[in-house]
Amino acid sequence: MIANRSRIWYHGPMQNIISTTAPVTRQLTHEWYGAPVAVPVEFSFTLEGDYLVFRAAQAAPVTIHPDACPGEFTEELWMYDTAEFFVADADGKQYLEFNLCPNGAWWACAFTEPRVRDAAAGLPLGVRTEGQVAPGGWSCSARIPLSYFSSLGIDIFNCRLAATCILNSPDYQFLTTSDDLSGEPDFHRPWSWAIASIQP
C-alpha cells in the first residue's frame, strides 16, 4: 500500500492535492452511483524533481489486462481494473488521460476536447512505472516528466486534476474525484475537475 502519511476520507467533490514533499494519501471510497466500495483505493500526486508522480493502491484482489506488460505502453487497459488520472489546463480544455495498470503497464492520450484526440501530441517520453500485484492487494506508481505537460499547454501549478479508477471488471465500478457524477459514468468531463491544490 502507499506508505505514509495523512489520510483524507473522500466521497463527493474534492480538490486533489499535489504535494511537493511527502505524498498526501487520499481515498476513493464510493463508486459513481454512490455505493461504497468494499476496500477504498488510495492515491496521491507528488512533484518529485522534474516529474509528477501518481501512486495508487488497494488491499484487494485485482483483474488486469492479459496483455499488460509491466513498464510498457499497452492499449485498452481500461477494459480491466486500472488506476487512472486526468489532468487539464486551468480552462478545462486541453487534457491528458493516463491509465496505469496495477502491474505497471501504462497508456496515455492527449485530448483537445472531450474524447477528441490531439493528433499533434506524441506519447510522453521518459515515463517510468512500477507495479506490484499479489492475491491480497496491489500498488503502482507512474512518473511523468513535467516537460510533457508543458508541451501540451498544461501548467501543473495551475491545472485541473481528477483521480479515477475502474474496478471489479467485468462488472465495472467507476470511481472518480470529479464534481460531476450525473448520468452514466464518464470520466471525460474536464470542466468538472477541481483546480489542483499545490501543498508542501
- Could you give the domains of the chain? 7-199 (2.60.40.1190)
E-strand stretches of 6-94: 7-8, 17-19, 25-30, 36-48, 51-58, 82-89
pTM: 0.92
Q: What is the pLDDT of residue 133?
A: 98
Over its length of 200 residues, how does the chain's per-residue pLDDT go in tens digits? 333 333 333 334 467 899 999 999 999 999 999 999 999 999 999 999 999 999 999 999 999 999 999 999 999 999 999 999 999 999 999 999 999 999 999 999 999 999 999 999 999 999 999 999 999 999 999 999 999 999 999 999 999 999 999 999 999 999 999 989 999 999 999 999 999 999 98
Distance, in Å, from the CA atom of 74 to the CA atom of 188, rounded to the nearest integer, reads: 20
All cell numbers assigned to 12? 463527493
Candidates 29, 28, 45, 43; CA nearest to 102 is: 43
The rounded distance, in Å, linking the Cα atoms of 75 and 8 is: 32
Helix (H, G, I), strand (E, B) or coil at 62: coil
Query: First-to-last CA distance in the chain?
Result: 22
pLDDT for 30 equals 95
